[in-house]
Amino acid sequence: MPFPPLESLTLAQQVAQMVVVRASGFLFDHQIQYPIWEPPSATLRHWLEDVEVGGVILLGASAGEVALRTQQLQEWAKTPLLICADVEEGVGQRFSGATWFPPPMALAAIAQHDLAAACRYAEQMGAITAQESLAIGLNWVLAPIVDVNNNPDNPVINVRAFGETTSIVSALATAFIRGAQAHTVLTTAKHFPGHGDTTIDSHLELPVVAHDRARLDQIELPPFRAAIAAGVDAVMSAHLLIPALDEQYPATLSPKVLEQELRQRLGFEGLIVTDALVMGAIANQYGTEESAVLAIEAGADILLMPLDPEQAIASVCAAVEAGRIDPARIQAAVARIWRAKQKVCAPQLKSETPHAWEKIQPSSPDFSISLEQPDAIATHTAILRQSLQLHRPTPASLDEPTQAGRNLIVVDNILDCDFLGRTAPAIVLPAQFGFTHTQIVDRHTPPISFDPKTPDETPTLLQLFIRGNPFRGSAGLTQTACDWFEFLLHSKQLRGLAIYGSPYVLQQFITALPQNVPYVFSYGQMQTAQAIGLQALFLNSAP
């Protein structure tokens, strides 16, 4: 599978290299979870073999399956692929069996009292994420997020950010990049020019950021400058309308934002990649064809997840042939893609070696690298422990003996709870302390009714798994969680509270919590986070 010389590619082949398509990490069609976005194998193989798209973004499956999947994809492709994933919290966030770190905001909590330690953890997190990516055949890490999450109601960034202040976000994001650079993967700063102060989810509709240039220069842009100075390989655009920069087009489709601000003003020379073009903020108004053309006119090098890749390619080719897009714009983009592919597919060759690297086979999964190694587990555990918040008064309501207590777990959607199961600490540990009746509810559960005249007198541990998640349009807190909290509070059944995910949810609850009711908060939702949090809550063990 040699790299063809750039000058030998047709226009359609050049444009195809600028497209990254979405695919399931699972090997078989019947396992596809998102059929609207993830094509069956025959279609995917056609896109790689015949259309010759330049890359694939994967979601779903175990790390072992993905290692086989990436081999398959590279074998289908005529030119080595960029294969990426949104692994902001480690490879295990998306692919089971690998290391799943707490959200980046956990590091911001540590940074508030020990910035040096937080930076060490961020660097280790970057290195481990890069290493485990290579182990399963990924060569492009779509991280770190460098948005400054200064809006607690942000539904799409939230705990995915490295913090709420420019200085901490810059320090931790550059440390992550530094760690990843020890390995041959691409890194990505996102979402330019800053998605941290929004209350609308761009997966659903277009947010508007009303800040003036002075504010952008002070808060939103410095982390991107820092990431660029640190040598980040790619910058992902945000689907935002920022009138101070462009009153007409969202950032992803704006030459004023991508070309003038990012390329010229900030001096970025790497890859500019759009956020997913299937997201409502772009797709609802511009559609597949026009969004592809506008994004490339604006300065994007890579079109991420157009709904119909072949249609997007055809529309861009037509725009070039009609004189709307300069062929040099396409050639410059593909040249940057070629340099990126050389870095991750032929790192042993010098960049000035003329065409020699074009004969190199693409890198394969490195099966010599094991996942969740002791150093990864130690880093993951240390971040969880040092970012934990615990309130354990003496005496505490949990000190009272409990028999046949209720373990009430509130989640967003029961069907999506990979972190729960029969042996999950959130279920097993409370039973050891008398909370033996487990009840799991979500936002689809019928609402409760509370009659203060005949209150239930069941001692209850309330566990809330709440964090902002894309496509939901809220920062995490559900009416179901609020109703149960108030019900248990007013009926005096609440013995303890555990919150996993969003610190903003914690702040909304603790002001109403009686002093004698203990609580624990963890940024993580995975089973390690459950175990650490509940042991602290029940045993009063210091983090």
Cα–Cα distance for residue pair 27/70, rounded to 1 Å: 10
| The predicted structure's pLDDT at residue 539 | 86
pLDDT in tens, 488-522: 999 889 999 999 998 988 888 888 999 889 999 99
Is residue 117 pLDDT above 80, yes or no? yes
Domain ranges of the chain: 17-359, 388-539
Under DSSP, is residue 263 helix (H, G, I), strand (E, B) or coil?
helix
Q: What is the mean pLDDT of the chain?
A: 89
Asked if residue 473 has pLDDT above 50, the reply is: no
- 388-539: which CATH number, 2.40.110.10, 2.40.50.100, 3.40.50.2000, 3.40.50.10870? 3.40.50.10870
pLDDT band (50, 70, 90) for residue 148: very high
The pLDDT confidence band at residue 202, using thresholds 50, 70 and 90, is: low
For the stretch 270-282, pLDDT in tens is 999 999 999 887 8
Residue 332 identity:
A
Q: Quick one: average pLDDT of 156-163? A: 90
- CA distances, 48 to each of 315, 357, 537 (Å): 19, 20, 52
Share of the chain above pLDDT 90, in %: 70
**Residue 249 has what pLDDT?**
94
On the CB side of 182, CA atoms within 13 Å amount to 14
CB 171 within 8 A of CB 107: no
On whether the CB atoms of residues 240 and 209 are closer than 8 A, the answer is yes
Q: Which residues fall within 8 angstroms of residue 483, CB to CB, at 6 or more apart?
A: 447, 448
Q: Is the pLDDT of residue 389 over 70?
A: yes
pLDDT tens digit sequence for 406-431: 999 999 888 878 888 889 999 999 99
Most confident of 52-66, 434-448, 467-481, 483-497: 52-66
Among candidate residues 183, 191, 195, 203, the one labeled active-site is: 203
Beta strand extents in 284-366 (DSSP E only): 303-304
Per-residue confidence (pLDDT) for residue 284, from 0 to 100: 87
Cβ count near 466 (within 10 Å): 23
| pLDDT number for residue 481 | 85
Evaluate if residue 476 carries a pLDDT over 50: yes
User: What integer pLDDT is reported at residue 17 of this predicted model?
Assistant: 97
Mean pLDDT, to the nearest integer, of 272-296? Answer: 90
Q: What is the pTM of this model?
A: 0.92
Residue 297 predicted with pLDDT over 80: yes
Render pLDDT for 220-267 as a digit per residue (tens, 0 to 9). 999 999 999 999 999 999 999 999 999 999 999 999 999 999 999 999
Quote the Cα angle for 122-237-194, to 5°: 60
Peptide bond into 327 cis (omega under 30): no
Query: Which residue among 86, 201, 233, 275 is the active-site one?
Result: 275
Mean per-residue pLDDT for 9-16? 95
**Residue 387 φ/ψ, nearest 5 degrees:** -100, 0
Output the CATH code of domain 17-359: 3.20.20.300
Q: Which of 169-173, 207-211, 266-270, 516-520 has the lowest mean pLDDT?
A: 207-211
Going by C-alpha positions, the residue among 532, 541, 520 that lies closest to residue 429 is 532
What pLDDT is stored for residue 354 in this prediction?
A: 45
Q: Which residues contact 440 (CB under 8 A, 6 or more apart)?
A: 409, 410, 411, 414, 417, 420
Whether 275 sits among the annotated catalytic residues: the reply is yes
